[in-house]
C-alpha cells in the first residue's frame, strides 16, 4: 500500500518554499515548549518528525517572517489539538469535546483566562493577541467562524466513533469538509500575504466554488497519505476506508479510486479558473491572490505529506494534561 500512497496524485502547481524556513524550524519548538503543549517525550518526537514548519513554509511561501510564525503556530496548535480529538480518549467523547471547543471560542472572542483554563487556552490567548496585532478584527471574526466549523467536524467524528458508525460516502464528505479545516488555513493565506478579501468576493459563487473544490482536493490527498495510520488505529473517518467498507472493495482499490477523485477535482479547479469572471480593478487582483493561496496549499500539502512522518505511525495518545 505504501507505494500507492506515494504516487499518482496529480498536482500541476509548482511547489515553493519560504526563504525563512530555517529560522521557522528553530522557532517552532520554542513556542510549543513555552506553552508546554508537547505532553511527553513521545509527543515531542512525533512533533519533530511531523515537520509542521515545512507545511507552513510550503503553504505560505511569500509570507514575511512574523506573519509566517503566527501562521505556523496556528497550524501547530490545530494539529496538536487534532491529535487529541483523534488519538486520545477524547475521540469517543463528543460532549466533552463540545465543552472544550465552547471555551476555546470564548477565549478567541476575548474572554479572559481563568485558573480553570487549559494549556491550549493559554496558547490561544497568545495566538489571538499576536494575530490581532497584524490583522483586523473583521478578518479575525471570519477566521473564528472557520475554526468553529472545524470544531464541529471534530465533534461529528467523535459522535460516530462513540456510536460505532461508519458514515456513508455523502455523509462523510460533508463531515470531512469541516474536519479538514481548509477554510481556516486559506484565511491564513490572506493573513500571511497581508490582504483581506472584500465581502462581495467572500460570498461570490465563483470564490465559494473554488474554496469547496480546494477543500476536497486537500481532504482527499490527506486521506490517501493518512490511510495506513488511520486504518491501523481503527478510525473510520477516511474516504479510503469509507469506500472500502461500503463498496466492499480492497484498500488498494479504494486508494486508487480516491486518487482518481482527487485528480478529477484538480482538473475541475483548473477548468473553473479558466472561467474566472472579470469584476474589474482590485477585485480581480484579490481573486488572483486568493487562487495563488489555494495553489500554494494544494502543492504545499502534498510536498509536506511526502516528507513528513506524521502519518507513519498509529500509537495511541495519552490525554494531554491540561493543568
What does the pLDDT look like over 292-309, one tens digit per residue? 999 999 999 999 998 888
What does the pLDDT look like over 182-205, one tens digit per residue? 999 999 999 999 999 999 999 999
State the Cα angle at 260 between 258 and 266, rounded to 5°.
105
Q: Which three cell numbers stand for residue 30?
A: 520554542
Buried b (16+ CB within 10 A) or exposed e, 251-285: beebbbbbbebbbebbeebeeebeeeeebeeebee
pLDDT at 321: 40
Instruction: Collect all residues with Cβ–Cβ distance below 8 Å to 88 and sequence separation of at least 6.
Output: 316, 317, 318, 319, 320
As a whole number of angstroms, the distance between CA 302 and CA 6 comes to: 10
- Average pLDDT of the residues of the chain: 92
What does the pLDDT look like over 36-61, one tens digit per residue? 998 778 788 888 889 999 999 999 99
> Is it the case that residue 126 has pLDDT exceeding 50?
yes
Q: Which three cell numbers stand for residue 59?
A: 503553504
pLDDT at 288: 95
* More confident call, 89 vs 7: 89
Confidence of residue 323 (pLDDT cuts 50, 70, 90): very low
Q: What is the mean pLDDT of residues 111-129?
A: 96
Amino acid at each position: 500500500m505504501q507505494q500507492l500512497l506515494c504516487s499518482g496524485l496529480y498536482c500541476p502547481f509548482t511547489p515553493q518554499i519560504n526563504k525563512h524556513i530555517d529560522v521557522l524550524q528553530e522557532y517552532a519548538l520554542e513556542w510549543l515548549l513555552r506553552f508546554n503543549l508537547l505532553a511527553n517525550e513521545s509527543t515531542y518526537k512525533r512533533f519533530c518528525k511531523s515537520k509542521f514548519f515545512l507545511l507552513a513554509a510550503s503553504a505560505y511561501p511569500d509570507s514575511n517572517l512574523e506573519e509566517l510564525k503566527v501562521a505556523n503556530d496556528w497550524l501547530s496548535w490545530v494539529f496538536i489539538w487534532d491529535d487529541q480529538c483523534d488519538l486520545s480518549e477524547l475521540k469517543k467523547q463528543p460532549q466533552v469535546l463540545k465543552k472544550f471547543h465552547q471555551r476555546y471560542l470564548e477565549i478567541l472572542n476575548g474572554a479572559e483566562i481563568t485558573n480553570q483554563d487549559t494549556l491550549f487556552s493559554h496558547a490561544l490567548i497568545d495566538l489571538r493577541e499576536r494575530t490581532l496585532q497584524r490583522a483586523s478584527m473583521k478578518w479575525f471574526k471570519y477566521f473564528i467562524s472557520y475554526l468553529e466549523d472545524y470544531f464541529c467536524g471534530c465533534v461529528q467524528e467523535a459522535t460516530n466513533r462513540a456510536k460505532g458508525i461508519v458514515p456513508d460516502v455523502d455523509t462523510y464528505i460533508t463531515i470531512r469538509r469541516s474536519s479538514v479545516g481548509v477554510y481556516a488555513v486559506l484565511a491564513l493565506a490572506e493573513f500571511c500575504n497581508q490582504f483581506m478579501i472584500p465581502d462581495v468576493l467572500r460570498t461570490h459563487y465563483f470564490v465559494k466554488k473554488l474554496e469547496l473544490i480546494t477543500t476536497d482536493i486537500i481532504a482527499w490527498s490527506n486521506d490517501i497519505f493518512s490511510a495506513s495510520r488511520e486504518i491501523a488505529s481503527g478510525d473510520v473517518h477516511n474516504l479510503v476506508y469509507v469506500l472500502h467498507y461500503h463498496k466492499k472493495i480492497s484498500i488498494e482499490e479504494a486508494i486508487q479510486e480516491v486518487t482518481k477523485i482527487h485528480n478529477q477535482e484538480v482538473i475541475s479547479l483548473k477548468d473553473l479558473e479558466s472561467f474566472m469572471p472579470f469584476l474589474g480593478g482590485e477585485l480581480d487582483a484579490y481573486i488572483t491572490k486568493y487562487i495563488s493561496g489555494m495553489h500554494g496549499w494544494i502543492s504545499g500539502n502534498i510536498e509536506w505529506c511526502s516528507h513528513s512522518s506524521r502519518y507513519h505511525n498509529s500509537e495511541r495518545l495519552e490525554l494531554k494534561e491540561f493543568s
